[in-house]
């Protein structure tokens, strides 16, 4: 899979070069390219923003540096119409099913905005050339698209075949995806400070352990995520 990221803060994306995704790039499973939007400005100050028509607070990103940067990426695309993901709090909410779907793409491009967003005409231009997806991480406001892009790239990238070293972890994850939160986990020592590992986990009784874990999942989901609990109940 090829991933391109466009940002005025390319250093933000350096986190993609460590750990799992860093290794996946070294092995050639993933190719991630980060582009500085300011490389496609022509004035002394490398201006990427200007004041909003109609007035209002803040600045708006000019469309031309975006078009020039994205045209350069399009020329290198392995596909005719790549997916262009634009992080924004007014997009569709990114989810695990969405991550699985996007992991099937050969080429993803992330356009990380700043300020009050990008001139709306850039989206009209882009829809003629890309499958444009406006995507939100959730209902809270970040200062720009970079952190949202990092989260989405990690969620998608780990689903690309070969990226997760032990693929059984992914199989386990998908089998355990019954709409419930995970059960609590413990490791050695069995007695730590004044806290004990639940005795049942030391019992070796696998059937009772499985039943206990399911009950823990149900209880956690009921109390922490009543929205998921309602959904789960309507499925079972």
Q: What minimum distance in Å lies between the beta carbon of 142 and ligand JCZ?
A: 4
Ranges assigned E (strand) in the chain: 2-7, 31-36, 49-50, 60-61, 83-93, 107-111, 131-136, 191-192, 195-196
User: What pairing do the DSSP bridges indicate for beta strands 131-136 and 107-111?
Assistant: unpaired
Please name every residue paired with 115 in a beta bridge, in sequence order, or none if there are none: none
Nearest to ligand JCZ of 85, 163 (CB atom): 85
Nearest to ligand JCZ of 89, 179 (CB atom): 89
Q: Is 111 helix (H, G, I), strand (E, B) or coil?
A: strand
Q: What minimum distance in Å lies between the beta carbon of 115 and ligand JCZ?
A: 6
Nearest to ligand JCZ of 2, 114 (CB atom): 114
Q: What minimum distance in Å lies between the beta carbon of 94 and ligand JCZ?
A: 8
Neighbours of 122 (CB within 10 A): 22
Q: What minimum distance in Å lies between the beta carbon of 120 and ligand JCZ?
A: 14
Q: What minimum distance in Å lies between the beta carbon of 73 and ligand JCZ?
A: 19
Nearest to ligand JCZ of 110, 130 (CB atom): 110
Calpha distance 82→107 (Å, rounded): 6
Q: Is 109 helix (H, G, I), strand (E, B) or coil?
A: strand
Nearest to ligand JCZ of 147, 164 (CB atom): 147
Nearest to ligand JCZ of 35, 114 (CB atom): 114
Nearest to ligand JCZ of 111, 163 (CB atom): 111
Interface residues with ligand JCZ (CB under 6 A) are 87-89, 113-114, 117, 136-138, 140-145, 148
Which residues, in sequence order, are CB contacts of 10 under 8 Å at separation 6+? 34, 35, 36
Closest CA to 215 of 227, 200, 204: 200
Q: What minimum distance in Å lies between the beta carbon of 132 and ligand JCZ?
A: 14
Q: Is 107 helix (H, G, I), strand (E, B) or coil?
A: strand
Q: What minimum distance in Å lies between the beta carbon of 122 and ligand JCZ?
A: 13
CA dihedral 229→233→235→236, nearest 10 degrees, is 130
Residue with tokens 């007695």: 191
């Amino acid at each position: 899979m090829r991933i391109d990221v466009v940002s005025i803060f390319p250093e933000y994306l350096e986190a993609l070069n460590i750990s799992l995704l860093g290794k996946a790039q070294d092995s050639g499973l993933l190719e991630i390219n980060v582009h500085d939007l300011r490389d496609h400005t022509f004035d002394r100050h490398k201006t990427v923003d200007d004041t909003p028509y109609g007035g209002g607070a803040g600045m708006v990103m000019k469309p031309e540096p975006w078009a020039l940067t994205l045209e350069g990426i399009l020329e290198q695309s392995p596909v005719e119409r790549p997916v262009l993901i634009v992080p924004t709090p007014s997009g569709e909410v990114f989810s695990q099913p969405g991550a699985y779907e996007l992991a099937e793409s050969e080429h993803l491009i992330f356009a990380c905005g700043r300020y009050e967003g990008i001139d709306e005409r850039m989206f009209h231009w882009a829809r003629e050339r890309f499958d444009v997806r406006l995507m939100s991480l959730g209902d809270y406001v970040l200062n720009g698209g970079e952190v949202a892009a990092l989260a989405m790239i990690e969620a998608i990238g780990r689903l690309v075949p070969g990226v997760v070293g032990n693929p059984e972890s992914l199989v386990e994850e998908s089998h355990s995806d019954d709409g419930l939160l995970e059960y609590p986990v413990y490791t050695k020592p069995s007695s730590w400070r004044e806290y004990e590992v639940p005795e049942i986990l030391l019992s070796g009784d696998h059937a009772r352990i499985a039943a206990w874990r399911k009950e823990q999942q149900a209880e956690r989901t009921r109390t922490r995520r009543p929205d998921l609990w309602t959904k789960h109940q309507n499925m079972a």
